[in-house]
């Protein structure tokens, strides 16, 4: 059964809908006679933070007064004829005399007063639809519906496969009807992701990344992008998925099949004629191989230790597996494992701790069938920073395990 929701003048809505060149109001909404519709925008799927009462006309428990409702969204401004001295009063009069009675005739009924002299009407046996007037001429309509935007992701293959800069990322496909705007492959930089608690960026991860920018189909919203990719990541077996509604983003981590891949989905341009979004991946294994081949050494991030100790944490295995796979693929490869710290703490202590941590990595690799003569370890402490230790981000870059080919001079 189709469920409807209507909202009026909600300044706190997150309706960043894409502008359709010829959007029209839904047929069930009474056209305001004598008034013009301006700045009409439409999204095929977005969310509305509206007041929704249950079947007893009471707020859901622990709702905080508002419940998110998702579906098709229209936002617009009603302009009274002429230039009335009090536009707000003119709109209130219109709603009271014309729009509200017609909605009530369709089965809407008054269910509450959200704020500012407004009115809430709901429709349907499950009380899931509503109409809210907030005392001005700005209008939002919500027609509850599922997300029509879908994407199916293939899991990353066991071995990285090359792809051109004009091709989609094989395991991070775009939404249907999207148009590729541009992209870059193997950009020499790291990514920062909001893992594992979704509260703030952590990392860095990887030493290079690949990105693609797309124009999305009309009617797309940032919320629709997030919901589509969040669902697709889960279905494709990604291990961690973090949705960041506040910045229109989704981060995900894939560690199966011996891979260590980070993916970032970022949205922008909503409200413009063409909504934009960007897909970014940092493949730790691919970057490691490329760095060692071209520069004889590679920084390895994601190797984590217990605080103030040389004990490897379990979440280090995805990164360590990249080194393991590399050495198994290249039987003649011999590496020095270097430990590096930032400048926090005493230099002598940092030197000792970095040496012990590098030795722990060698011990892990030997325990996983890599011959000991192919490996050596050395602690450098804070003597070889990649960047100046001037802030937390730079210090994070300097705290690393570094691999160095023994056949390079």
**285, 309, 343 — which closes off a domain?**
285
Has residue 15 got a pLDDT over 50? no
Under the banding of pLDDT at 50, 70 and 90, the label for residue 34 is: confident
Work out the angle between the directed axes of helices 347-367 and 317-329 (0-180°, nearest 10): 60
Whether residues 127 and 185 share a domain: the answer is no
Whether residues 91 and 184 share a domain: the answer is no
Task: Give the C-alpha separation, 259 to 210, whole Å.
Answer: 16
Whether residues 16 and 137 share a domain: the answer is yes
pLDDT of residue 370: 97
Burial class (CB in 10 A: 0-12, 13-18, 19+), 65: exposed
6-20, 85-99, 133-147: which is most confident: 85-99
Task: For the chain, give percent helix, strand, coil, nearest 5.
Answer: 25, 35, 45
Whether residues 360 and 315 share a domain: the answer is yes
Domains identified in the chain, total number: 3
* Domain of residue 251, residue span: 179-285
* Selected residue with higher pLDDT from 97 and 17: 97
Instruction: Report the range of poorest mean pLDDT among 38-42, 279-283, 315-319, 327-331.
Output: 38-42
Work out the angle between the directed axes of helices 317-329 and 284-295 (0-180°, nearest 10): 50
Has residue 50 got a pLDDT over 70? no
Is 166 part of any domain?
no
Query: What's the mean pLDDT in 144-165?
Result: 92
Is 174 part of any domain?
no
In the chain, pLDDT over 90 holds for what percent of residues? 49
pLDDT tens-digit readout, 324-373: 999 999 999 999 999 999 999 999 999 999 999 999 999 999 999 999 99
Tokens of 124: 């349907």
Is 169 part of any domain?
no
Whether residues 207 and 324 share a domain: the answer is no
Report which secondary-structure segment, H or E, holds 145.
Answer: none
Whether residues 262 and 302 share a domain: the answer is no
pLDDT of residue 65: 54
pLDDT of residue 64: 52
Query: What's the mean pLDDT in 365-384?
Result: 96
Q: Give CA separation, 14 vs 11, 226, 282, 312, in Å.
A: 9, 14, 30, 43
Instruction: Report the range of poorest mean pLDDT among 64-73, 225-234, 363-372.
Output: 64-73
Instruction: Report the range of poorest mean pLDDT among 21-30, 249-258, 331-340, 395-404.
Output: 21-30
Whether residues 269 and 307 share a domain: the answer is no
26-40, 43-57, 78-92, 222-236: which is most confident: 222-236
pLDDT of residue 58: 56
Q: What is the mean pLDDT of the chain?
A: 83
Alpha helices, H only, 139-256? 222-235
Produce one character per residue of 247-286: b if its CB has 16 or more CB atoms within 10 Å, e if not. ebbbbbbbbeeebbbbbbbbbebbeeebbbbbbbbbbbbb
Under the banding of pLDDT at 50, 70 and 90, the label for residue 230 is: very high
Whether residues 253 and 339 share a domain: the answer is no
What is the CATH classification number for the domain harbouring 185? Answer: 3.30.310
pLDDT of residue 12: 28
pLDDT of residue 362: 98
Whether residues 279 and 345 share a domain: the answer is no
pLDDT of residue 100: 82
Produce one character per residue of 329-347: b if its CB has 16 or more CB atoms within 10 Å, e if not. eeeebebbbbbbbbbeeee
Is 381 part of any domain?
yes
Task: Give the C-alpha separation, 183 to 213, whole Å.
Answer: 6
Has residue 316 got a pLDDT over 50? yes
* Selected residue with higher pLDDT from 152 and 6: 152
**238, 253, 285 — which closes off a domain?**
285
pLDDT of residue 349: 95
Whether residues 276 and 361 share a domain: the answer is no
Whether residues 203 and 323 share a domain: the answer is no
What is the CATH classification number for the domain harbouring 313? Answer: 3.30.1330.60
Whether residues 344 and 281 share a domain: the answer is no
Query: What's the mean pLDDT in 91-101?
Result: 82
Is 39 part of any domain?
yes
pLDDT of residue 216: 92
pLDDT of residue 270: 59
Closest to 152 (Cα-Cα) out of 231, 211, 250:
231
Is 158 part of any domain?
no
Is 154 part of any domain?
no
Is 304 part of any domain?
yes
């Amino acid at each position: 059964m189709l469920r409807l929701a209507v909202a009026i003048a909600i300044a706190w809505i997150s309706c960043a809908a894409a502008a359709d060149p010829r959007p029209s109001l839904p047929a069930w909404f009474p056209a305001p006679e004598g008034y013009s519709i301006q700045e009409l925008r439409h999204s095929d799927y977005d969310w509305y933070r509206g007041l929704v009462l249950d079947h007893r006309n009471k707020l859901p428990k622990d709702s905080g007064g508002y419940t998110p409702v998702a579906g098709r969204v229209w936002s617009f401004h009603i302009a009274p004829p002429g230039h009335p001295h009090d536009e707000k009063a003119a709109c209130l009069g219109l709603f009271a005399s014309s729009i509200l009675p017609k909605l009530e005739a369709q089965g809407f009924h008054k269910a509450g007063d959200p704020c500012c002299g407004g009115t809430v009407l709901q429709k349907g046996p499950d009380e899931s639809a509503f109409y809210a007037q907030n005392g001005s001429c700005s209008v939002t309509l919500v027609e509850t519906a599922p997300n029509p935007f879908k994407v199916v992701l293939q899991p990353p293959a066991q071995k990285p496969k090359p792809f051109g800069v004009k091709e989609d990322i094989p395991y991070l496909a775009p939404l249907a009807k999207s148009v590729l705007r541009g992209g870059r492959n193997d950009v020499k930089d790291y990514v920062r992701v909001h893992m594992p608690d979704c509260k703030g960026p952590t990392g860095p991860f990887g030493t290079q990344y690949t990105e693609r920018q797309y124009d999305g189909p009309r009617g797309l919203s940032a919320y629709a992008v997030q919901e589509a990719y969040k669902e697709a990541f889960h279905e494709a077996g990604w291990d961690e998925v973090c949705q960041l509604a506040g910045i229109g983003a989704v981060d995900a981590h894939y560690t199966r099949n011996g891979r260590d891949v980070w993916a970032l989905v970022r949205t922008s341009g909503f409200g413009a004629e063409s909504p934009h979004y960007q897909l970014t991946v940092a493949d730790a294994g691919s970057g490691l191989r490329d760095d060692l081949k071209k520069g004889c050494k590679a920084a390895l991030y994601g190797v984590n230790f217990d605080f103030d100790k040389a004990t490897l944490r379990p979440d280090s295995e995805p990164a360590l597996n990249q080194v393991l796979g590399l050495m198994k693929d290249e039987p003649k490869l011999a590496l020095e494992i270097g430990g590096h710290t930032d400048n926090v703490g005493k230099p002598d202590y940092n030197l000792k701790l970095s040496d012990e941590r590098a030795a722990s990595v060698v011990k892990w690799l030997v325990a996983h069938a890599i011959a000991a003569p192919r490996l050596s370890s050395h602690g450098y402490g804070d003597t070889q920073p990649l960047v100046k230790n001037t802030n937390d981000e730079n210090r994070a870059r300097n705290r690393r395990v570094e691999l160095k080919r023994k056949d390079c001079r």
